[in-house]
Amino acid sequence: MRYFIRKLIVLGVSIFFITILTFLAFHILPGDPAQLILGTEASQEKLEALRIQLGTNRPLYVQYFSWISGFVRGDFGTSIKYSRPVSELLAGRLEVTVLLGLMVMAITLFFGVILGVFSAGKNGKLPDDVISAFTILGTSVPGFFMSILFMWIFGLILHLFAPGKYVDYHSDPAGFIRYMIFPALAIAIPQTATLVKYIRAAVIDELSTAYVRTAKGKGVPFTMILFGHVLKNAIVAIVPLIGMMIGEIFSGSIIIEQVFGIPGVGRLLVSSVLSRDFPLTQTLVVYVALLIVITNFIVDLVIQFLDPRIRLMEEQA
C-alpha cells in the first residue's frame, strides 16, 4: 500500500508541475491573443474589451486558477481560431487518434513479441539475421518517409486506398480500417523494430540462466520453457519500454496525421500552434503530458505486480 501511495503522490506532483509549466510557457510568449483575434487595425477600446472577455487582463495567478479549475470541470475554454469550445473540438478528433493509437499498439505488440521470441530462439541462425536486418532498417527509416512511401505504393500504384481522402469510421468502418492501416503501419514499424530488439535481448539473457539449463536437463520441451517461463520473466524488462512507446506513438501520429490528412488530435495540435491558439494548444499539450505520466504510473504498478521484489526494495529504501 505504501508503494501505491508514494506513486500516487509522485503522479499528483507531476501533474501539478505540468499544468504550471504549460500555463507559464504560453503566457510568457510574446504576442497578445486579443490582437491576434481582432487584427492589427483594431482600436484600443475593442482590444481592451476582448482582453476583459478572455480574462487576459487579470494577474497570472488568477488566470491560472481560473484555467485549472475549468480544466478539472471539463471546461477547457474557447478556441481563438475556431470560436468553439475546446471540448467540442477534442471530442471527435480524440476518438480518431485513440483508434489510430490502438491499431498501432496492436500491430506493435503482436509482431514485436512473435518476431522477438522467434529471433531469440533462432539466435545466430539465418532467421535471426533476417529479423535483425529488419530491426536495423525499421529503426533507421523516418516515419514520415515511410508514410510517403506507403502512399505512393499502396495508394497511387496499387489503389488500396485513396491518399488524402479520409474515411469516417461511423459511416464506413471497413473503409476506415482499410485507410488507417497504412498510417498505423508507418508508425508501428519503427516501434515494432525497437520492441523486437529488446525482447530478443531479454529472452536471450533469460535463456542463459540456471533455471533454464535445469529445465533442459530434466527434458522439458524448449517451447514450454520459452513460453511458459522465459517470456514471462522477460516481459518484466519490456514493460517500461511499452510504456514509453505510448508517447512515441502519439508524437509519431502528429506527423503521420498531417501526411495522410487524418483529422486527429495531432493535426489539431499543429494547427493550433501555427495559429497561436493558446486555449486549444494549452489543453492539447496538457493532455499529451497527462497521457505520458499516467501511462508511466500504470507501468510502475504493472511492474511491481509482475515482480513484487521491486516494490519491496522501494519500500525498504
Q: What is the pLDDT of residue 292?
A: 83
Q: How confident is the model at residue 189 (pLDDT cuts 50, 70, 90)?
A: very high
CA atoms within 13 A on the CB side of 22: 22
Cell (9 digits) for 287:
493532455
pLDDT digits (tens, 9 = 90+) for 1-26: 677 788 888 888 988 898 888 888 77
Report the 10 Å Cβ neighbour count for 222: 13
Are 143 and 187 within 8 A, CB to CB? yes
* Mean pLDDT of the chain, nearest integer: 83
Q: What is the pLDDT of residue 180?
A: 92
Q: Which three-class secondary structure state does DSSP give residue 311?
A: helix
Q: What is the pLDDT of residue 311?
A: 59
Angle between helices 143-150 and 231-260 (to 10 degrees): 70
Domain ranges of the chain: 92-285
Distance set, CA 279 to CA 36, 86, 178 (Å): 13, 7, 34
Q: What is the pLDDT of residue 131?
A: 92
Q: What is the pLDDT of residue 307?
A: 67
Sequence-separated (6 or more) residues with CB below 8 Å from residue 219? none
Q: Which of 149, 251, 236 is nearest to 191 (CA)?
A: 251
Q: What is the mean pLDDT of residues 280-304?
A: 83
Which range (52-56, 217-221, 299-303) has the least confidence?
52-56
Highest mean pLDDT among 118-122, 239-243, 313-317: 118-122
Report the 10 Å Cβ neighbour count for 55: 12
Q: What is the pLDDT of residue 188?
A: 92
Distance set, CA 283 to CA 267, 298, 305 (Å): 14, 22, 33
pLDDT digits (tens, 9 = 90+) for 203-259: 888 888 888 888 888 888 878 888 777 887 777 778 878 778 887 887 778 888 888
Return the CATH fold of 92-285: MetI-like fold (1.10.3720)
| 86, pLDDT greater than 60 | yes
Q: What are 61-64's contacts with CB under 8 Å, separation 24+? A: 63/23, 63/27, 64/19, 64/20, 64/23
Q: What is the pLDDT of residue 316?
A: 57
